[in-house]
Amino acid sequence: MEQPRILVVEDEQAIADTILYALRTDGMQAEHCTLGSAALARMRADAADLVILDVGLPDVNGFEVCRTLRTFCDVPVIFLTARHEEIDRIVGLEIGADDYVVKPFSPRELAARVRAILRRARGGAAPAPAATDSGFTHDADGARLAYRGRWLDLTRYEYLLLALLVAHPGRIYTRAQLMELVWQDALDTSDRTVDTHVKTLRAKLRDATPEGEGAERIRTHRGMGYSLDPMQA
């Protein structure tokens, strides 16, 4: 099995160091951020398997970070808290945490909990797919695509069209090329076929992203055709 990748979000360096050490000793890959905003950017670009999240961060508190994270990703979250008053909120799971640890804590105990949660997550539903550089994940065997960790509900031609664009980010395809490559086995098509499918794909990408920014990933090049924006939004 691949080494699980854990993101540790903790602003106190000494605490972060002991956690990172414990996780790495336990055979896990561990990365570290000190800010909530950095953690979210990191997760959007390339999701870790589990997040250890301090509640008291310098920029955004851990609850807010978790709430935002939940809008695009189902990754397990373990909270670190220094205050017993915060436990009720965490335990109430109103913010979608999987577990919590109260400071001071044993880093080895934390590593053991991480292992337990990962086992549970792997035994359950299919894990949220890890995004590639473009934010898309392509499961060719299952003929499906995910954007930022969420599987998209696509029709056959929407899937074929998006898979082609995702395979070559930045490359411009003319309508004629798309018709030939994507609709080669279609019985009846019209000049509007490509445009119609781009429109429905954009709507689905918009709905799959918190600010609707996904819609902008498919770019129109006037008089030329369409491409996938290779840049992370």
Give me the residues that bind Ca ion (CB under 5 A), please.
Answer: 11, 54, 56
Smallest gap, in angstroms, from Cβ of residue 55 to Ca ion? Answer: 7
Q: Closest CB to Ca ion among 56 and 96? A: 56
Smallest gap, in angstroms, from Cβ of residue 79 to Ca ion? Answer: 11
Smallest gap, in angstroms, from Cβ of residue 138 to Ca ion? Answer: 38
Residue number of the CB atom closest to Ca ion:
56
| Entry field: residues in the chain | 233
Q: Closest CB to Ca ion among 6 and 55? A: 55
Q: Closest CB to Ca ion among 65 and 205? A: 65
Q: Closest CB to Ca ion among 56 and 230? A: 56
User: Rounded distance, CA 179 to CA 174, Å?
Assistant: 9
Q: Closest CB to Ca ion among 52 and 228? A: 52
The DSSP code sequence of the chain is: -PPPEEEEE-S-HHHHHHHHHHHHHTT-EEEEESSHHHHHHHHHHS--SEEEEESS-SSS-HHHHHHHHHTT----EEEEES-GGGHHHHHTTTT--SEEEESS--HHHHHHHHHHHHHHHHHSSPPPPPP-TTSEEEETTTTEEEETTEE----HHHHHHHHHHHHSTT--B-HHHHHHHHSTT-S---TTHHHHHHHHHHHHHHHTSTTSGGGGGEEEETTTEEEE--S--
Q: Closest CB to Ca ion among 54 and 158? A: 54
Smallest gap, in angstroms, from Cβ of residue 11 to Ca ion? Answer: 5
**Which residue do the tokens 């499906």 mark?**
144
Smallest gap, in angstroms, from Cβ of residue 56 to Ca ion? Answer: 4
Smallest gap, in angstroms, from Cβ of residue 43 to Ca ion? Answer: 19
